[in-house]
Amino acid sequence: MAAMLDGPLRALFLWLSHRRWVARLALRTPGLRRVALRFVAGTTLAEAAEAVRALNASGASATLDVLGESVSDRATADAAAAAYVATIERIAADGLDANVSVKLTQMGLDLGVETCLQVIGPVVAAGRRHGIFVRIDMESSRDTDRTLEVVRRLRADGCDVGPVIQAYLHRSRTDVAELAAARVRVRVCKGAYAEPESIAWQRREEIDRSFVELVTTLLDADAYPGVATHDPRMIADVLAHVRQHAIGPDRFEFQMLYGIRRDLQRRLIEEGYRLRIYVPYGTEWYPYFMRRLAERPANVLFVMRTMFGERR
């Protein structure tokens, strides 16, 4: 039954993501605002910094994401880059244990790779100045080659950057093999975009198997992977490999979303594992939140179970 409802629910959430009146309603309604902003660390840099400070106090590090849409003009891209520079400067000034995650379409990737490199230049320069890592997020499959090209060119210039690789893409085994050989820091996630069967695994067991394979390849190469999952089964599989091969907890980190499975987050920290929380902030929180629900409509029930479970 849940599978039958996935398509209509996904379409509904994507439709809602473009309805700004729903966003305004959510902000004015205490209950809706509380649920929505549970997963976004506010709309300002100051609010995001406070959220990171609290996470650091709990034993977790963070990666800050300035929410925004794909841009189609240079001025908007430059403004997004300036927001990231300000974020990096704030991380350094406050002594926060955090880095940043950047989407290249927000940096003008659709204007061309050369333009994107120019726009992101001040961001990676600020990261280099303060010794702060810059994660390059992965978007849909149409952007994969261009994203990896930008990563390669930035690293060739000595920038401390690393990409995200999506486990559901067939190509990811080859991409990770190349990145592992160069010991590039990679975040591995399952993947959230709608991709055709010709290029992406569709069944959960296939995606899970690929996820663990990619992570273990990076672990064995001592490439410090980011293991991005809330799935206890995937975590258990990764930890089984870690124990079998005597890999220390300083050689990888788990990564989770802000506000999701805080009980599991606490458990990993208590067991001595490194954990980094993806902390989005900004005025564009509403489309982000709705897309998270659209990615997998079962997340609606998951969110409710998480909230009620933590309350208990």
Across 68-77, 131-140, 299-308, which has the greatest mean pLDDT?
131-140
Measured on CA atoms in the order 230, 233, 239, 245, is the torsion positive or negative?
Answer: negative
pLDDT at 32 over 90: no
Least confident range of 23-27, 83-87, 210-214? 23-27
* pLDDT of the residue at 2: 41
Question: Would residue 231 show up in a list of annotated catalytic residues for this protein?
Answer: no
Q: What is the pLDDT of residue 284?
A: 75
Architecture per CATH, 41-189+199-281: Alpha-Beta Barrel (3.20)
Q: Can you spell out the DSSP letters for 31-90?
A: HHHHHHTTSS--SSHHHHHHHHHHHHHHT-EEEEEE------SHHHHHHHHHHHHHHHHH
* pLDDT-based confidence at residue 39 (cuts at 50, 70, 90): confident
Would you state the pLDDT for residue 118? 98
From the list 187, 261, 274, 292, the catalytic residue is 187
Interatomic CA distance for residues 131 and 40, integer angstroms? 26
Residue of 137, 143, 208, 237 with catalytic role: 137
Query: What does the mean pLDDT of the chain come to?
Result: 88
What pLDDT does 281 receive? 94
Please, are residues 208 and 234 in contact by the beta-carbon 8 Å criterion?
A: yes
**% the chain with pLDDT above 90:** 71
The predicted pLDDT at position 99 comes to 98
Tally Cβ neighbours within 10 Å of residue 208.
Answer: 19
pLDDT tens readout for residues 174-208: 999 999 999 999 999 998 777 899 999 989 999 99
pLDDT digits (tens, 9 = 90+) for 96-143: 999 999 999 999 999 999 999 999 999 999 999 999 999 999 999 999
- In the chain, the amino acid numbered 79 is A
Angle at the Cα of 187 from the Cα atoms of 222 and 296, rounded to 5 degrees = 145
Q: Span 12-18, mean pLDDT?
A: 60
Find, among 80, 143, 138, the residue nearest to 109 by Cα.
143
**Exposed / middle / buried, residue 247 (Cβ in 10 Å: 0-12, 13-18, 19+):** middle
Residue ranges, CATH 3.20.20.220, the chain? 41-189+199-281
List pLDDT tens digits, range 203-247: 999 999 999 999 999 999 999 999 999 999 999 999 999 999 999
Catalytic site includes residue 187: yes
Model pLDDT, residue 198? 96
What pTM does this model have?
0.88
Confidence at residue 23, expressed as pLDDT on a 0 to 100 scale: 64
Q: Which amino acid is at 241?
A: H
